[in-house]
Structure 1
Amino acid sequence: MTGPNPEPQDRNGQVRIEMLGTPRITGGTHAHTLRTTDLAALIRLRPGRTTEYLCRAMDPVNPWSTRSLHPRLSELRNEIGLTDDETPLLPRPKNGSGYVFHPAVASDWHQFQQPAATGLAGSPAQGTADLESTMALVCGRPFDGRTLPWADPVIQEMLSRITDTTHTLARRHSDGDTPDLDAARRTVLQALDIEETSEVLHRDLLHIERAAGNPAAVRRTVSRLQQMARTYDITLDTLTENTIKLVLSDHPSPITAS
């Protein structure tokens, strides 16, 4: 498949493959089909894979043929274009090597990972801004709306890191002499929309609402948590059950409980 000559990319409009929400490609020259976007995500997350691997991964039940794959690759090359020095952003493999994007091609997941690691390891004073910046990249459930067997392991990793980041942010916003419970609540609610089965985030929200003096919100959160457990046939952790008893009692609520 041939197409118009791709235009060099302006670095202010860097090509980026987004996966922390509905998959899409930003900064390219054309609109992108779902299949082309899925293929781009696969190559970005599994660099160096062969033609045979890509064909199997894109449809494990009915693997693509090379006749199906190559037009998609050509379409992707045309859509994302070239670097400023006219180097293809998706070079053709040489000497048996696999498919790898040019380093100029970014992804929101890779942009999330390093600041998240730095923020989680840093002190509240130094690391909170990094965690806030990583959560700003999250637009929804990873690969929202797409069923991609090859992506299942990385989706679970993404959800785990989002949960860890949110939990740490909630604690940091809730700690200290001047806690910002509104910021803590916003962070937790954003993550619960993405990972509604996370008990640690439900516990965070219960402690936040208890500390804020919102008994009605506490009861709503307990009901939401119990409904989630029924929907997914989950037996709640002992810690979660104890947290429910605590926030519904008259005892003080430790905001930073695990």
Structure 2
Amino acid sequence: MPALLLDGNPVHITEVCTSLALEIGMSPWASDVEVVTIGFGEDLPQLLPTTRIAHMRKATHALRDLSERLLEAHQLPETRHQPYLLLCASPLDADTAWQFAEVIDKSGSVPVTLIAPASSAASHFPDAEILNASLSRPQNLNHAGTAITVQRLEHAAYVQITTALKVSGQPPHPAEGPWQEVPDEPDGMRQCEQPAPQQPTPAAARPSPTAVTDVRGGVFPALLAATTDPSGLRLLPAATTPSEAGAAPGRDGQAAPPAAGQAPASEKTTAADDDKDSSEDGMRPEAEQRQAHDLHAPEIRVLGPVEVTGVDSTGHGPRMAQLAALLFFRPGRSADALCSDMDPASPWSSSTLNARLQGLRRSLGNDPAGHPYVPRRRSGDDPYRLAPGVRCDWNRFLQLTERALPLGPAGLTDLEKALTLVRGRPFGGKPLPWAEPNQQEMITRIIDVAHTVATHRTPAGPHHDLSTARQAIATALDVDDTAELLYRDWLRIEHAAGNRQGLHTAITRVQQINRALDCSMEAATEHLINELLTPARPTPVENV
């Protein structure tokens, strides 16, 4: 298809071209496509992790680049199959449109397509199909033999995406406070020594080669294989304490594991003690240091899909839970800010906000003194907020981890207890924009804690526990399955267990994730894989 022309509002034409640039620039199925944006998207080449997009300020520059590309294809025939897409959001002048038509007509076997406004290019591409960029209903595209609906990316959404990309590309801030105690990765093979030989696994218990083909679905079953049967895919039991010794045994006589994200029984029996401790030094966003003295106060859980004690999971419940999280993490906001934060694309009305606040107030109820957990505002200047007694699992996570990290291996119990609070990706899979910075901080902290547990639990010694190390890494991978630090920890765990098949499973996982993201593997991961897969050379013995 030499050209596809767009009609309609110029703003909508730009939005369609922007959407195509981002879609094709990141899609795995378009890895061979070379995209040239003309007059827009100047920041995309530096922001996107792929290198498919080139930006040209003027159409004449793109015309020259196209001519050079065709010359290259003539001299290097093996590159002729690579598509070349020109995206132009501004009208072309008549002379430039004519030159594009001439060059594209002579492109031969090189697939070249120009997408541009129809106003000035239609006369030079008489056979080109024209789509209306302003329509939101399906339109026939004869070349594809089907009806399509054009996708537009509004400028506000584009700014949000590019801002997020810029932030993600910035170097990380140095750790502060207790987080400076997160251990570095071990050097070389120092931590990967095998403490004890593993028993061979019966053939029937070995996983099939297809067990690792699903990249993004479910938990990591191979990671959770029991240490007594490294090649099996059974869920690992949680680390037991002396008080759990009499618990009902699971498979192979081991204690049955808790469900994903569920605390072990011993933690349930000590929940009151945990809540009591949290009143000593709990942390709160905005540095408010508000304490939860009421053990029966409602809790906002954000270390997974947002849940709030007493708020239903149906009807308006999920939105009220999100509103509660917003009030907790962003207290003191105005009504307009709350309405916009709850739905940036279509802000709530004041009546909707008041209705959800009333529903939340009824759901959370009152404290023992009779004061509502969602205080009523006495005047228009009063801030929207929650009562100081409302609890949050993120505060509890911070309290446990920041108390434990400076203790080194002695703090492992609290670190592992903190990981049991994690139920999945913080704020769920699609957080509201206001929550994205908080989500990223939580993900980073969870990865730090899981890495710390694995670092202390993997080497031989008094803290050696590969089952607990695996469980920590599995929890963090459910939160972020792209963090290669976790895969390196996983590789060290399987090597320490003598689990060759588990080692290859972890390698396959990280390779599949990188293929899905169209990214190269980190150098540290490649080095570790080569180190673990290369047999150790015996030390030469000199003849005396």
- Name the TM-score, length of structure 1 as normaliser: 0.88
Q: Is this contact kept in 1: 2:340–2:348, CA < 8 A?
A: yes
Q: Is the aligned partner of 1:14 residue 2:297?
A: yes
Determine the C-alpha separation between the residues in 1 that align with 2:370 and 2:335.
Answer: 24
Cα deviation 1:102-161 (Å, max 9, x = unaligned):
121101111111221222222211x21221121111011112244411111111111000
The alpha-carbon distance between structure 1 residues 166 and 74, as it changes in their structure 2 partners (threshold 3 A), is same
Q: Is the aligned partner of 1:141 residue 2:422?
A: no
1:210 alignment counterpart: 495
Larger RCO: 1 or 2 (CA < 8 Å, sep 6+): 1
Determine the C-alpha separation between the residues in 2 that align with 1:38 and 1:182.
Answer: 35
1:175 alignment counterpart: 459
Higher strand residue share: 2
Q: Is the aligned partner of 1:130 residue 2:411?
A: no
What stretches of structure 2 of length at least 5 have no aligned partner?
A: 1-292, 538-544
Determine the C-alpha separation between the residues in 1 that align with 2:409 and 2:534.
Answer: 30
Kindly state the Cα deviation for residue 177 of structure 1 after the two structures are TM-superposed.
1.7
Determine the C-alpha separation between the residues in 2 that align with 1:15 and 1:191.
Answer: 26
Determine the C-alpha separation between the residues in 1 that align with 2:526 and 2:378.
Answer: 57
- Mapping of residues 60-75 of structure 1, within 5 Å: 60-75=344-359
From 215, 220, 223, the counterpart of 2:505: 220
2:312 alignment counterpart: 31
Determine the C-alpha separation between the residues in 2 that align with 1:250 and 1:208.
Answer: 17
Cα deviation 1:191-228 (Å, max 9, x = unaligned):
11221001000000000100110011000100000000
Q: Is the aligned partner of 1:184 residue 2:433?
A: no
Larger radius of gyration: 2
1:118 alignment counterpart: 403
From 360, 382, 387, the counterpart of 1:76: 360
Q: Is this contact kept in 1: 2:303–2:421, CA < 8 A?
A: yes
Determine the C-alpha separation between the residues in 2 that align with 1:168 and 1:94.
Answer: 48
Higher helix residue share: 1
Kindly state the Cα deviation for residue 12 of structure 1 after the two structures are TM-superposed.
4.5
The alpha-carbon distance between structure 1 residues 213 and 24, as it changes in their structure 2 partners (threshold 3 A), is same
Determine the C-alpha separation between the residues in 1 that align with 2:448 and 2:378.
Answer: 40
Q: State the superposition RMSD in angstroms.
A: 1.8
From 97, 103, 107, the counterpart of 2:388: 103
Cα deviation 1:135-190 (Å, max 9, x = unaligned):
11101111224441111111111100000000001111123524111111111112
- Name the TM-score, length of structure 2 as normaliser: 0.43
Instruction: Return the letter of the residue paired with 2:308.
Output: I
- Mapping of residues 237-252 of structure 1, within 5 Å: 237-251=522-536
Determine the C-alpha separation between the residues in 2 that align with 1:98 and 1:111.
Answer: 25
1:234 alignment counterpart: 519
- Tell me which stretches of 4 or more aligned residues in structure 1 moved more than 6 Å: none
Cα deviation 1:33-55 (Å, max 9, x = unaligned):
11111101111111121211101
1:6 alignment counterpart: none
Determine the C-alpha separation between the residues in 2 that align with 1:189 and 1:123.
Answer: 21
Determine the C-alpha separation between the residues in 2 that align with 1:97 and 1:173.
Answer: 50
SS in 2 for 1:17: strand
Determine the C-alpha separation between the residues in 1 that align with 2:422 and 2:489.
Answer: 19
Percent identical residues: 39
Q: Is the aligned partner of 1:89 residue 2:373?
A: yes
SS in 1 for 2:368: coil
The alpha-carbon distance between structure 1 residues 55 and 234, as it changes in their structure 2 partners (threshold 3 A), is same
Cα deviation 1:52-95 (Å, max 9, x = unaligned):
11011011111111111111101100000000010111112356
Q: Is this contact kept in 1: 2:458–2:492, CA < 8 A?
A: no
Determine the C-alpha separation between the residues in 1 that align with 2:322 and 2:393.
Answer: 14
Instruction: Return the letter of the residue paired with 2:405.
Output: L
Number of aligned residues: 240
Determine the C-alpha separation between the residues in 2 that align with 1:193 and 1:71.
Answer: 35
From 49, 56, 66, the counterpart of 2:333: 49
The alpha-carbon distance between structure 1 residues 251 and 142, as it changes in their structure 2 partners (threshold 3 A), is farther
Instruction: Return the letter of the residue paired with 1:139.
Output: R
1:193 alignment counterpart: 478
Instruction: Return the letter of the residue paired with 2:344.
Output: P
Q: Is this contact kept in 1: 2:298–2:390, CA < 8 A?
A: yes
